[in-house]
Structures are given as C-alpha cells and as structure tokens.
Amino acid sequence: MHSYYEATVSREIYPELTGILDTQVCIIGAGLAGLCTALGLVERGVRDVVVLEGERVGFGASGRNGGIVFGGYSLDTGDLLRTLGRAEARRLYRLTTDAVELIRARIARYAIDCDIVDRGVVLANWFDDQSRLDGLRSLMEREFDVEWEPVPTEVLRSRLKTKRYHGGLFEANAFHVHPLRYVLGVAEAAMKGGARVFEHSPACSVERDGVSFVVRTTRGAVRAKDVVFAGGAYTRGVSRRIERAMLPIATYVIATEPLGARLAEAIDASHAVYDTRFAFDYYRPLQDKRILWGGRISVFNRDPGAITRLLRRDLIRVYPQLADVEIDYAWGGLMSYARHKMPQIGRDADGLWHALAFGGHGMAPTTVAGETLAAALTEGTPVPKSFTKFGLTRTYGLAGLAAAQLTYTAYQTRDRLAKGVK
C-alpha cells in the first residue's frame, strides 16, 4: 500500500547483504526498535554493528503509524500500577517520558527533518462523563507526577469544531512527527556513526556457533557475538520462541486531500488528538493542511478502498462538515502485540536479545527498548526486572488472533453502550 509517508520521503538506498560478515552485534529489523538499539550502541562507542532488514528501512509499523510521540505503553497506566506496584510502575513510565526527551534531542542533534510539531496532544472525552477525565488526571498526578491540563468543553470545541467531545486533557510533553522521515533519520545517524545497514536482506535463521551466533540471509550470513531480534510483526521463521509470543494485528490510516482554509473549519489547532474510547480515533493536522486520521484494529489486512470507506465514516462521524473531502491516501499495517499489552524486552533462554510487541504505542517505547538493550550490551546494565514480568507469553496463533478480535469487538460494543449511540 502506498502511504502518505512513502509519497513524501526521499530514501537512501542501502545495499543487500552478500557474502559473510563478522560483527559484534547483529540486529534483525530496521524499524525503530532495531535502529534505536543500533544508534544507542553507536552513541556508546560501539561501531561494529550490522542491521538486517528484509524489506526497506521503516517498512513496518515504525514507518506507517500516526506519528504521535508521548509517554506510556499500550497497557493502561492503572493496569501498570496494579501489576507492578507504585515504585516499579513509576520507573517504567518514567523511561517513556525520558524517551520523549531523547527523541526531541536526537531530532535536534542529528538535524532530522521530520516535520516535528512540538505542541502537545489532547485526550478528548468521547463520553459526557467528567469523572473519566478527573479520575485519570488525578491518577497521573498522584502516581506518576505528570500534570495533564484540563480543557473545558467550550474551549475544546473552539479548537476542535465538533460536538462529539466533552472536554479533554492536554499533555504538553508530547509532539507529532513524520514517522518514516524520523526512522530514516535514525538509520542515517547510526550509519554515519559506523553501523552497517542492509536492506532486502531478510534473516532466515539464527544458529549457535560456539560462543557466537550465525544469522543467515537469502544471499549471505553474519557472524556476531550478540544478536537482537527486533523484527516485529513482519519477521517470521527466524526464532519460533520469540515469534509465537506476538500477535500480528492490523490497523489503518488515511490522509485527506489538502484542505487549505477548510482545515480550520474542523481543526483549529496544531496538536494531535485521540479520544477516551478503547477503540479510539487518533489524528493530527499535517503541515500541508491535510488531516491524517487513524484508528481501528483488526486481524484482517484490508485493501485501500475498504480502509477509505471505514475511516472516512469515522472522520465524518466526528466532523460532518468534511463529508465531501477526498481521501488521497489509505494504508494499513501490522503491529506486534503481546497478550499482556507490554513490550517484550530482554534476553531469551537461547541467548537472543529481543525488542518487540509495542502494540500501537511504539514511538517512545521503542526508544526505551533501544536504550535498554544498548546499555545492557555495552555496560552490562541489567534489563529492568519489571520488563521480565511481561515476558515472551505465548499467544497461540490463530486462536490468539480470534480472541483478540473478539476482545476488540466487545470493547467497541462497550464504548457504544456507554455513549448511547450506534
């Protein structure tokens, strides 16, 4: 599928791996998790790094997502507290807010041209129930020392010209970017620091070779002291133990035609937006006056026509004044999800490091993974034990996909009942 992002980048061509290479660290996957690990290693003085990508840099979720950068994980913060307790939940959450700052710093340090709009994000309340916002705001301030500013309904409706929302919360420490340009910028920074990146070089197998590993590709091989699996939902047939712990879940995005002055008739704000439903919409205005709109998750990959129909309906439900706008781009992609909805970061029983299952909330957590693994590999810093609590939990293939679809449908129904509309 041809995305808006692919249509608006110029790419460096990385070579295909042929022959045999020796390296200190081999990373499987040139999405954000893999490239942030590579850049983290380079920044710590390790130049002997090879990154293998089966397609192109940023091919998967890292180059197709909504581009919203903010703290937290896919797992709700309340559930994070209940699972880990206050101290460890705060620690893991803090890693993501530190990652937001690091992404900002890297954009500046490496002059990454990724259309950054550093204007925060609004959580818009879909339900006419102020307690939903009050409870969340209180929890974030009390347990995580994070202040989200209340946005009264009338103020929000002066910015977002819709009656669908009933106030909101504004998170200032958030921004949005062109994610594919950011991924390509991270790849370039890692490469300039000494890492070698190979495209069209899918990992086919990983085998032990004494104290090292051998990663075989279709036309070559890499012998490495350490291997990091960061392939996400598109990597299959490399490590069964790791791959069976993630579900490939599809999500969808559209971009409208350039709206010019009409944009302000619907969205008179520069921040990104998402709402309080489980099955929420997320969207943001682009610099060329388009609206980028994402939402829905499914076990099914859909064609651009079906995606356009689904998301146009969602867009018009919120902004009926845009009923006649054209949709210029529609695309989908697969995210990797774990059953527990947390990233899987660590080292498995075979000695493979892994960073996967960011579940649609990956811009900051992939940076957390990269920094965590880079520190472990170079300094011997242990991976936080809290991440091991969210390990490589088996997802049971087709049965897991069916359960995920049923869960999503159930939550959609709950959202509709709570709103009282179809």
Label each residue of 275-343 as H, E or C: ECCCCCEEEEECCCCCEEEEEEEECCCCCHHHHHHHHHHHHHHHCHHHCCCCEEEEEEEEEEECCCCCC
> What is the percent of the chain where pLDDT is above 70?
92
Coil vs helix vs strand at 109: helix
Q: What is the pLDDT of residues 327-377, one digit of tens each?
A: 999 999 888 888 889 999 999 988 999 999 998 888 999 999 999 999 999
Q: What is the pLDDT of residues 179-211, one digit of tens each?
A: 999 999 999 999 999 999 999 999 999 999 988
Coil vs helix vs strand at 248: strand
Task: Evaluate whether 76 touches 140 at the Cβ level (below 8 Å).
Answer: no
What pLDDT score does 302 carry? 84
Stretch 270-279: mean pLDDT, rounded? 92
Q: Which tokens go with 328?
A: 């210029």
Query: What is the Cα 3 distance to its own chain's centre?
Result: 16
Question: Which among 370, 365, 362, 359 is positioned nearest to 25, based on CA atoms?
Answer: 370
Q: What are phi and psi of 326, to 5 degrees?
A: -85, 145
Question: Which among 60, 34, 6 is positioned nearest to 255, based on CA atoms?
Answer: 6
Cβ-proximal residues to 354 (8 Å cutoff; 6+ apart), any chain: 228, 229, 230, 239, 242, 344, 345, 346, 347, 348, 392
Stretch 299-314: mean pLDDT, rounded? 89
Q: Containing H/E element for 227?
A: strand 220-229
Mean pLDDT of the chain: 92
- For 4-419, CATH number? 3.50.50.60
Stretch 262-277: mean pLDDT, rounded? 96
Q: What are phi and psi of 250, to 5 degrees?
A: -90, 150
Q: What is the pLDDT of residues 141-179, one digit of tens each?
A: 999 999 999 999 999 999 999 999 999 999 999 999 999
Of 248 and 176, more confident: 176
CA distance 36 to 95: 14
Q: Burial letters for 112-141: b for 16+ Cβ neighbours within 10 Å, e otherwise?
A: bebebbebbbbbbbbbeeeebbeebbebbe
Lowest mean pLDDT among 22-31, 69-78, 282-291, 295-304: 295-304
pLDDT at residue 22 is higher than 80: yes
Q: Which tokens go with 290?
A: 């388009």
Q: Which tokens go with 389?
A: 């609590």
Cβ-proximal residues to 39 (8 Å cutoff; 6+ apart), any chain: 106, 186, 189, 190, 193, 195, 370
> What is the residue-wise DSSP string for 151-199?
E-HHHHHHHB--SS---EEEESS-EE--HHHHHHHHHHHHHHTT-EEES
Q: Give 252's pLDDT tier (boundaries 50, 70, 90).
A: very high
pLDDT at residue 64 is higher than 80: yes
Q: What ranges do the domains of the chain cover?
A: 4-419
pLDDT at residue 413 is higher than 80: no
Whole-prediction pTM = 0.93
Q: Which tokens go with 167?
A: 């106030």
pLDDT at residue 96 is higher than 50: yes
